[in-house]
Structure 1
Amino acid sequence: MIDPSDKLGIKSVTAEYKRLRQESFPDVKIGVLHGKLTSREKETILKSFRAGELQMLVATTVIEVGLDIGAATIMVIEDADRFGLAELHQLRGRVGRRGKEGICALFSSYPSTIARSRLEAFANINDAFKLAEQDLKLRGPGDWFGTEQSGFTEFKVADLNDVVLLAEAQEAAREIIEHDPGLVSYEQIRIKIEDLLQKEHHLS
């Protein structure tokens, strides 16, 4: 979350950035990274982090994919109960790269029973496939073509490998939409999506 949300109780990344910079670590050079920054702004911040000009990053899950900085060795994830296992695993993979030991600490204020089970699985399992299997058991596959991120659906998955593939496809789709919301450079994808939406509209 970038902006404060009283409804969800999630800290604003910008508010947390200011708090850490002003109160907790006034002598540490801290950067902030989120999806509302331009690509150039993101790259400038990451370049500074790689060069050691920034010692800490406060970020949203925009860092989930593509961050490869060998010096990044410690990650703290707040409200970890709000994440799925696959996403937590992706985030964990951003630290401890290039043979260096990494530490990923999870914090959760009020985890439900299922959320606690998810976090315990995350702490004990390093294999991505096994985590995906556990995530599917705990959360359900969700709605692949809609907005539901968890729960059981009428969409049938033939094999668990399909779940992993679909999760990767979802992430690829998020990256495309982030850089090209109107799908101007992806005409065939846009046409296919419009066709699927029309068919779904006629069936509903």
Structure 2
Amino acid sequence: MWADVRAEAAAGRQVYVVCPLIEESEKLEVASAEETIERLAYGELRGLKLELLHGRMSSAEKEQVMNRFRSGETDVLVATTVIEVGVDVPNATIMVILDADRFGIAQLHQLRGRVGRGVHASRCWLVTTAKEADDQLIAESNPRIDALVESDDGFYLAEVDLELRGEGTLMNKEQKGRSDLKLASLRRDRELVELARDAAYEIVDADITLSKQPELRSELALFLKPEDEEFLFKN
């Protein structure tokens, strides 16, 4: 992988290396940008021009670093997810995401979109942590990583993400975990949910107070709590 990075840099291309953390953590064995740039500068990428970019830097500092990267002065940009959106450098052809299993599908999909923006062939390396068993390193299968390798379709990846995270609840801000629906599933019954939504719009557009739908109004009164009504009104 690092040989690929060196080869691309020798060809005049540029590279992103993305880390989950800014600085090393005592609690988590996760790659940090500060530790990674030091290790690479004196190790695998010795001799290349590396720079650091993260969210704790001032706006002026970040802009200076990005300007040097855009102009081609920097070979490798070691960064956090601060580059997730709004970065467009067509000459960048490789992204290495360390401890990729620490990121969500949406983040990884956004990050890898930073390469492949020019005419040159591009690659994104998703590096995950291997576990040791019987003196051998075993890479565990990760459904999020598998999905990203399988597809670059944002809609499909959003479906996988919903499947893995869970639907969450309808009546509050919990966006993941167990659904509060008793029978229906937003994933399994999507077409039915869309039909029900369309029917609800028709009813409410014609009779916003439900004065002509006493049975439906009574059911809603039993089903909806005051806080649920407030949440729906705001959203």
Does TM, normalized by the shorter one, top 0.5? yes
Judge conservation of contact 1:35–1:62 (CA < 8 Å) in 2: yes
Q: Does 1:120 align with 2:146?
A: yes
Change in CA separation of 1:29 and 1:132 when aligned onto 2, cut-off 3 Å:
same
Cα distance 1:41–1:17, how it changes in 2: closer, same or farther (>3 A)?
A: same
Equivalent pair of 1:17/1:32 in contact (CA under 8 Å): yes
Give the match's secondary structure for 2:77: strand
User: Alignment partner for residue 132 of structure 1, among 158, 173, 198?
Assistant: 158
Q: Which residue of 2 aligns with 1:47?
A: 67
1:87 alignment partner, one of 84, 107, 112: 107
SS across alignment from 1:108: coil
Structure with greater Cα Rg: 2
Alignment CA distance shift 1:151-1:8 (3 Å): farther
Shift in Å at residue 142 of structure 1? 5.5
Q: Is 1:6 aligned with 2:26?
A: yes
Structure 2 residue aligned with 1:105: 125
Q: CA deviation at 1:64?
A: 0.4
Question: Whole-Å Cα distance in 1 between the matches of residues 61 and 143 of structure 2?
Answer: 38
Q: Counterparts of 1:159-178 in structure 2 under 5 Å?
A: none
Mapped partners of 2:145, 2:23: distance in 1: 25
CA distance in 2, matches of 1:43, 1:25: 24
Change (3 A) 1:141 1:82: farther
Is the CA contact 2:169–2:176 (under 8 Å) kept in the aligned structure 1?
A: yes
Who is 1:63 aligned against? Answer: 83
- Look up the SS of the partner of 1:24 in the other structure: coil
Residue matched to 1:151? 177
Amino acid corresponding to residue 79 of structure 1 in structure 2: D
| Counterpart residue type for residue 133 of structure 1 | E
**Alpha-carbon deviation of 1:136?**
0.8
Question: Taking structure 1 as reference, are residues 142 and 31 closer, same or farther at Cα in structure 2, changes over 3 Å only?
Answer: farther
| Number of residue equivalences | 161
Q: Normalising to structure 1: TM-score of the pair?
A: 0.68
CA drift of 1:149 comes to: 7.4
More strand by share: 2
Identity of aligned residues (%): 44
- Counting helix residues as a fraction of each chain, which structure ranks higher? 1
Partner residue, 2:52: 32
Pair 157,49 (structure 1): closer, same or farther in 2 beyond 3 Å? farther
Please say which of residues 73-82 and 113-122 is displaced more in the overlay. 113-122
Kept in 1, the 8 Å contact 2:168–2:180? The answer is no
Following the alignment from structure 1 to structure 2, what is the Cα–Cα distance between the partners of residues 78 and 150?
Answer: 25
Shift of 1:19: 0.9
Deviation string 1:170-200 (CA, Å, 9 cap, x unpaired) is xxxxxxxxxxxxxxxxxxxxxxxxxx9xx99
CA change 1:137–1:66 in 2 (3 A) is same
CA distance in 1, matches of 2:140, 2:106: 15
Q: TM-score, normalization: structure 2?
A: 0.60
RMSD, aligned CA: 3.0
